[in-house]
Structure 1
């Protein structure tokens, strides 16, 4: 009986060992390199996304192309409409101004020149020497003051009413040694008359609107703290 028990026990032990061996061969053993069950879609970081093909748009993070060459920024395209023809001498001159003083705005300059034109004409007719000195170069101011003095000696007065300034266009730009000279052609409609001591009109008309062309040149040292342009030359426009 004892021998039978021993033989049976040995048989069952052998079966148990066989079953355990088969299970291990089917299921395998853990090696510590298995993918975590909490990251079922984890991919290698160098692996492209599924469905992504070469040439597809990619959102790149800053510094992603740090090792690649970068094309130089293109020169800014100026919008010269209403100011100058692209490629013209005026446009080239304005580019020179902007190279020295990037904040320069040609459109603001044109608007400012119209205000200066009106202010200077009115100051001249009123004999306002103080205003003229602040807006004119010394040479031009001397010429204006001489004309005012001669008019006063004749006991004459001048009257001017601005009806409109129909045109103010830049016709020339010159930059030398950081000094810019910009020439503007004005076309205005005025009512202008000169009266004698008795109030009689001796020149012009107190009622007729006349079209007056003028060509004025303004100058300023670029980059200086003084933002004001001064009138440095005048001539009658054709």
Structure 2
């Protein structure tokens, strides 16, 4: 096997491992499904609607009283009596496998993958992580960029902070909203190679509020991004 074939095989295996890890951390549960709603182009408002579908092991439902251990994870993340704690308890009632801290780890991984894929124009990666409506907005932005001959060069430095700020269940769909602060180097070049946005030599702070959702009846463990908002 030549060196080029070995490198290609290495990155293919790495990509599969990252995808499997993302599937395992970003949620788990059971059932059937409906499509979500909210376009990327509307970053000034966050909608919280429908879900996705899929295939994984169906987990049995069981009733647990409010004093059961299941809600300890909500209490450990947000003080009892707060709106966030109540929202997390709603999610835990519907999804006995939900864990706020594990979800947050998966959300951070998804955030980096989505930001990087958008800069690269990688529609395949984006379509696996976004709701159809959000994907439509991302795709439109990429097509506009491509039609102008523009190119985005982006380096993801890291996530400084990530917190769950809202959670709940609506119409059999669990949704969790995350506020993320990250460091990013990004510049957009026109067809002549001139920087028209951003700065290739400066690390910028980016603040976003993203909402992820999934149908609680679905066997698909994956969550998808259904709403984006710039945190001013």
TM-score (norm 2): 0.68
Q: Secondary structure at the match of 2:169?
A: strand
Q: Secondary structure at the match of 1:102?
A: coil
Partner of 2:141: 147
Q: Does structure 2 retain, via aligned residues, the 8 Å contact 1:83–1:169?
A: no
Alignment of 1:29-178 (within 5 A): 74-76=67-69, 78-80=72-74, 83-178=77-172
Distance in structure 2 (CA, Å) of the matches to 1:181 and 1:202? 36
After TM superposition, which residue ranges in structure 1, 4 or more long, deviate above 4 angstroms?
79-82
Equivalent in 216, 222, 225 of residue 219 of structure 2: 225
Distance in structure 2 (CA, Å) of the matches to 1:127 and 1:233? 19
Q: Does structure 2 retain, via aligned residues, the 8 Å contact 1:120–1:135?
A: yes
Q: Does structure 2 retain, via aligned residues, the 8 Å contact 1:97–1:104?
A: yes
Distance in structure 2 (CA, Å) of the matches to 1:74 and 1:128? 46
Number of positions where the alignment pairs a residue of Structure 1 with one of Structure 2: 167
Larger radius of gyration: 1
Q: Secondary structure at the match of 1:199?
A: coil
Shift of 1:190: 0.6
Structure 2: gaps (5+ residues)? 1-64
Q: After superposition, what is the alpha-carbon deviation per residue over 1:36-65, rounded to whole angstroms, capped at 9, x for unaligned? A: xxxxxxxxxxxxxxxxxxxxxxxxxxxxxx
Partner of 1:204: 198
Distance in structure 2 (CA, Å) of the matches to 1:73 and 1:88? 15
Relative contact order: is structure 1 or structure 2 higher (C-alpha 8 Å, sep ≥ 6)? 2
